[in-house]
Structure 1
Amino acid sequence: MLSGSADEWKRVHIISPLVRGWIALLAVIFFGGRDWFESFLIGGGERFREGPVGNLPLAIAIVVGVVVVVAGVFFLSWWFTRFQVTEEHVRVNSGVLFRQHRQARLDRVQAIDVVQPFLARVFGLAELKFDVADAGESAVRLAFLKLDDAQKLRATILARAAGVSLGPGREQEIPEAPEREVLALTPARVIGAAVLSGNSIGAVLALIGIGVFAVVLETGALFAAFVPILIAVAGGYWSTLSTGFNFRAAISPDGIRIRYGLLDTRTQTVPPGRVQAVGVIQSPLWRLKGWYKVTVNVAGYGASPSGEAQARATLLPVGTLEEVLQVIALVLPDPGTDRPVEVFTAGLAGRDSDAGFITTPRRARIIAPFAWRRNGFAVTRTALLARTGAWWRELSVVPHERTQSLALHQGPLARRFRVADLILHTTPGPVSPRVHQIAEDEAWRLFDEQSIRAAEARRRSGPEQWMRPVPADDRDEQTGGPLDTAVMPDPPSYTEGQARHEL
């Protein structure tokens, strides 16, 4: 399927249209055959016994005609879908009547996924999804390829996005980059996380509220309103289970690799430096177990509230403090401080001025009676940390070079108590970095200093092609090189040496 020159136009697997459109095919069969089947049952088989001039031959002819038409549509869809991978672009042409041409620059690839829906797993197929900066959605989708071909193509695309060139005629030699597993979740923890999630809290509060109103109004009919709530809660449980089951995180020269899935499986690869912001959340019930959830903003993922988008933006569905520090270390290998464990732990669970955090002044405690000791920020050489929340604890981490713009927000009540919020703008996603209710003069100082830090960090940031070969004279000062000479990195950690002792 993928043999030949790397730059030639190729086609996806021939049964791809069936895997994509099997639901539509079942719908056609169902609605087309329902009336005939019902009339057959109601008529007691009389129409079936009418002979060849009856409805049975006509029904068979219709079914055969539908199958032929659907097969023809599937064949045309497959025939007119082609893709090409060059040194600089991924191109996909598709469509029969309405032609569509999509192109993604390899140096703008933010993440690449290998997805296997349940039916695709049955046939040993997989879909490739490429996310490109500013696309707002998957810019390119290749559905479907053989799993081995999809993995090889992913390796080729990531290698070219990294700046690797093996020379003419050696494109097929690009191997799958090695990886080292960092952590894996057990099914017991994933199930426990679902039971102790905010869905359970919402369900209990809803049941109590409905019960109170039922007693006051002296009617049990209100309990019917709990049915849609129960369905929503069950959907939340399923989302937690499906995105956390079989979860594994690994590091490779390609970047961070994440695998998860119950029925549909997904392998995500986020190249180095593509994460724009990190968010860590802890719900009240999770505090009993010391669990956290880690999400990220990645250019191209967008801010869609759909379950798939939320799952793709989850870097760790449920983890302990040590695992959270490991994951953050993958995204931010240089924490910019000699006390990373102390600083990040203070961001997750601390309050007041722990580890140098600057918080809401005491005079403004009346407008944030529970969170004023938690609201705050800290700045390291490489990132800004913003924490908030007394019940639902949140920590946002934004690398300085990923700060796109800044804004100060101050409402009437905030002006009365001389406090303000600093908003950091990154790419859209589940993380909304915001420093809440800090002193007005402190907010202005942070606004000016963070602007300077962001500009300086962008100036020093590395190239988009993170493994681009460099001249021999510069190799002592820069990392990178051809893929066949790349060394598997050790997983970054904040818990080595003195940091490990502190934890």
Structure 2
Amino acid sequence: MTTVPDSAGGPAAPPPQLVRSPLSDGEWHRLHPLTPLLRGGLFLLVVIGIVFSNLRDRLLYIFLPWLAPGVGDEVVEWEEMGGDPVDFVIANNLYVLAAVAVLAVLIILVAVFYTSWRFHTFRITEDDVEVRSGILFRTQRRAPLDRVQGVNLTRPMIARLLGMAKLEVVGAGMSANVKLEYLSTANAEAVRADILRLASGRRLADEAAPVGARPASRTAALGLTVSRELTGILEGPEAPVAEPESVVHIPLGRLVASHVLSMSTVGLLFAIVAIVVGVTQGVTWLLFGFVPAIIGFGAYWVRSIFKSLRYSIAPTPDGVRITYGLTTTITEILPPGRVHAVEVTQPILWRPAGWWTIRINRLTGRSASDGSNDDFTTVLPVGTVVDVERVLRLVQPAMTDDERALVVEQGMFGPREGDTFVNTPRRAWWIRPLSYRRNGFLLTEDELLMRRGVVWRKIVVLPLARLQSFGLYQGPLDRLTRVTNGRAHVVQGPVTPFLAAIDRDVALQLFDDVARASVRAAQSDRTHRWAQDEMDAGVPAPPAASVLAPVPTPPASAGAPAEPRVPESSATELRVPEAGAADLPDAPTRPADREEDGA
């Protein structure tokens, strides 16, 4: 690709004839002109509100004394007690000087916000997204496009009314995200498409952004935007662009019921009963101790429902598009190959309704203490088995129909007749007394499946191409029972890929099989630049596959395990080699179930 050299010696900009958005031409651009209003103006409004709240009585006494006749006596008492700066201004008749001082402070703050906006610029090259900011202390951040883990578009309620959005490019490290706040919604969508298109290995010239008719003036444009977005809060258009249809629709009744049928709700009911009983017995401190917690839980409960009201998930050529939120809308596109672990879970209270939830481990570019991490790891808040199948097709497109059938039929509802999972041996039942029959694993060509839990049914899907390492851990009681514990190491997240009480010999065979399978999967993985093959071949990227096809039921099969080698240490760990290592045997075999030799 021909590039235009950068005068500063930085990365080259894409050629102008290949640029789709005016903001993706490799030049430095500023953010939306109303950005200071959202980033600093709201802070000023809060400060002014606090000041007026504290001076409410005094302002009534000065300007509207007939509305509050008793306030004058309180003001006189304040003045007799020594007064405050406002009393000093009133006593010395310094109204004009005080007004000038307040006006000067406002002018300085506005100048600071405006200067900050002028110095806050960004550019998009064919390799990076760069942001420069700061007045006295300059900061420059760069996000390589080949390391992009996702692109999020957030629209808080005030920003939506003004037709603006915040774009966040998710990086591969801790606190590595690059934020563009704020852009107009149309520009944010175009820039996001360009970033994903460059990250995929395709060129920007393959598509051209349509140029629509503009209103006659900025005032008219703002009026139309506010009117449209007020309607959109209820009707739900994410942006004035075509949005793919969601493959999953969550009814409001199911969403509310899923929150009601939760262990946190059960705990809340116990707390309410304890408060009622305690108050009737004269223990009034329970009322003051638990009521704030109940109010906080209620706020969290309502916020969780509001967040999922506009949930949608759909395939796009650049990845999975997930949208959620009623007042603050967040739209995320998760590129292929960025999911490191998938967990399908069913709490026991959801079992009569047949509902499940899906969470994933992925790089979010945020710290572990960030409470918004959960927003980016729950890809299905609540859904049926059909919904689970559809979401699995999106987040794990490399899985075959047979593998998806194994996840649904045996992983979610197993064990059943013809179960192909390797389960905990009967002699170790006391380690997992309730779930030892269900506790097991299955290694396929591209995934490692871990199944566990009875009260909370869980099936974990681990793509071998994303696996970082695999370890075996054995304590003294495990050694007596000849079992061990296995843990797969992936990026941090809500999914815990851990399995206890695996037969020792079978676990050692699994250790070797995972080593070979992980290297082979990493060598064949092409999701780093998911459209590079199509571009090199000169063919367009294929459209998103249908996610509504039925999943066939696979036949049961088993393989013969090799003779394991017992290491001297009671804890072993495998580090997956980097892609490009020497070729290894083709396909690992699944260790067969072994006959137990008694208690």
> Does TM, normalized by the shorter one, top 0.5?
yes
Unaligned runs of 5+ in 2: 1-20, 62-70, 77-85, 212-240, 555-599
Q: CA offset at residue 33 of structure 1?
A: 4.2
Counterpart for residue 25 of structure 2: 6
- The amino acid of 1:7's aligned partner reads G
What is the aligned counterpart of 2:464 among 389, 394, 400?
A: 400
1:429 aligns with 2:493: yes
Is 1:486 paired with 2:546?
A: no
Residue 161 of structure 2 aligns with which residue? 122
Please give the per-residue CA displacement for 1:237-286, whole angstroms capped at 9, x wherever unaligned: 13421331111111010110011102100110001111111112222212
- Cα distance between partner residues in 1 of 2:171 and 2:405: 33
Aligned to 2:259: 194
1:51 to partner: Cα distance: 8.4
1:90 corresponding residue in structure 2: 129
SS of the equivalent of 1:373 reads coil
- For structure 1, the residue ranges without an aligned partner over 5 or more in a row are none
**Which stretch shifts more, 173-182 or 229-238?**
173-182
Matches within 5 A, 1:307-322: 307-322=371-386
Deviation, 1:352, is 6.8
Q: Would you say the 8 A contact 2:470–2:487 is kept in 1?
A: yes
Match of 1:163 in 2: 201
> CA 1:293/1:259 → structure 2, altered by over 3 Å: closer, same or farther?
same
Equivalent residue number for residue 24 of structure 1: 43
Q: Does the 8 Å contact 2:202/2:535 carry over to 1?
A: no
Which one of 154, 157, 170 corresponds to residue 131 of structure 1? Answer: 170
Instruction: Tell whether the 8 Å contact from 2:148 to 2:170 is kept in structure 1 after alignment.
Output: yes
Report the equivalent of 2:530. 466
Task: Quote how far apart the aligned CAs of 1:457 are.
Answer: 0.4
2:423 aligns with: 359
- Tell me whether 418-427 or 487-496 shows the greater mean CA deviation: 487-496
- The match for 2:343 is 279
- Rounded to whole Å, the distance in 1 between the matches of 2:310 and 2:96 is 50
The aligned counterpart of 1:67 is 106
1:432 Cα deviation from its structure 2 partner = 1.7
CA distance in 1, matches of 2:166, 2:23: 21
The residue type equivalent to 1:392 in the other structure is: W
CA contact 1:177–1:253 (8 Å) conserved in 2: no
Q: How many pairs align?
A: 484
Q: Which of 199-208 and 54-63 deviates more? A: 54-63
For residue 162 of structure 1, report the CA deviation from its aligned partner: 0.8
Residue 108 of structure 1 deviates from its aligned partner by: 0.6
Secondary structure of the 1:281 match is strand
In structure 1, distance between residues paired with 2:274 and 2:422:
39
**Which whole-Å deviations, capped at 9, do the CAs of 1:340-369 have from their partners, x for residues lacking one?**
324433212323776311221111211222
Could you tell me which residue of structure 1 aligns to residue 317 of structure 2? 253
Asked whether the equivalents of residues 165 and 188 of structure 2 are also in contact (C-alpha less than 8 Å), the reply is yes
Asked whether the 8 Å contact 1:184–1:246 carries over to 2, the reply is no
Let me know the Cα RMSD of the aligned residues. Answer: 3.0
SS of the aligned residue for 1:274 comes to coil
d(CA) in 1 for partners of 2:549 and 2:297?
A: 36
Please tell me whether residue 224 in structure 1 is matched to residue 288 in structure 2: yes
Q: Which residue of 1 aligns with 2:298?
A: 234
Higher deviation after alignment, 304-313 or 157-166: 304-313
8 Å CA contact 2:401–2:552 kept in 1: the answer is: no
Inter-partner Cα distance in structure 1 for 2:387 and 2:369: 26
- Structure 1 partner of 2:225: none
> Which has the larger strand fraction?
1
Give per-residue Cα distances to partners, 1:445-487, cap 9 Å, x unaligned: 2122111111110011115111125587xx4xxxx84xxx434
Task: Specify the code of the residue in structure 2 equivalent to 1:390.
Answer: V
C-alpha distance in 2, partners of 1:227/1:361?
48
Asked whether the 8 Å contact 2:24–2:124 carries over to 1, the reply is no
Structure-to-structure mapping, 1:315-330, within 5 angstroms: 315-330=379-394
Counterpart residue identity of residue 203, structure 2: S
8 Å CA contact 1:365, 1:372 repeated in 2: yes
The superposition leaves residues 409-442 of structure 1 with CA deviations (integer Å, 9 ceiling, x where unpaired) of: 2233323322222111111111121122211222
CA distance in 1 between partners of 2:296 and 2:51 (Å): 32
Are residue 454 (structure 1) and residue 518 (structure 2) matched? yes
State the Cα deviation string for residues 40-87 of structure 1 (Å, max 9, x = none): 444478989x98963543453344233212211210111110000000
Distance in structure 1 (CA, Å) of the matches to 2:420 and 2:474: 24
Which amino acid is 1:318 matched to? V
AA at the equivalent of 1:142: L
Deviation at 1:165, TM superposition (A): 1.7
For residue 436 of structure 1, give the secondary structure of its aligned residue in structure 2: strand
- Asked if structure 2 preserves the Cα contact closer than 8 Å seen for 1:103 and 1:139, the reply is no
What is residue 107 of structure 1 aligned with on the other side? 146
Deviations 1:307-328 (A, max 9, x none): 4210111111111111011111
Deviations 1:161-217, CA, capped at 9 Å, x for gaps: 1111246xx8865998984532222222222222122321221244456667778x8
Q: 1:409 aligns with which of 458, 465, 473?
A: 473
Q: 1:430 to 1:174 in 2, by over 3 A?
A: farther
336 and 51 in structure 1: CA distance in 2 versus 1, 3 angstrom threshold: closer
Query: Contact 2:23–2:124 at 8 Å: present in 1 too?
Result: no
CA distance 1:242–1:451, shift in 2 (3 Å): farther
Tell me how far apart the structure 1 counterparts of residues 345 and 418 of structure 2 sit (CA, whole Å).
Answer: 19
- Equivalent position SS for 1:413: helix
Residues of 1 paired with 2:533 and 2:416: CA distance? 47
Partners in 2 of 1:436 and 1:337 — Cα distance? Answer: 28
CA contact (8 A) 1:401 1:455 kept: yes
Q: How does 1:437-448 map to 2 (within 5 A)?
A: 437-448=501-512
Q: What amino acid maps onto 2:140 in structure 1?
A: H
Q: CA separation in 1, counterparts of 2:159 and 2:329?
A: 10
User: Aligned equivalents of 1:82 and 1:392: distance in 2?
Assistant: 48
Give the secondary structure class of the aligned counterpart of 2:246.
strand
Cα distance in 2, alignment partners of residues 201 and 320 from structure 1: 23
**Residue aligning to 2:178:** 140
Contact 2:410/2:416, CA 8 A, preserved across alignment = no
Q: Secondary structure at the match of 1:396?
A: strand
- Within a 5 Å distance, the mapping from 1:149-188 to structure 2 comes to 149-166=187-204, 173=209, 179-188=244-253
Measured after TM superposition, the shift of residue 224 of structure 1 is 3.2
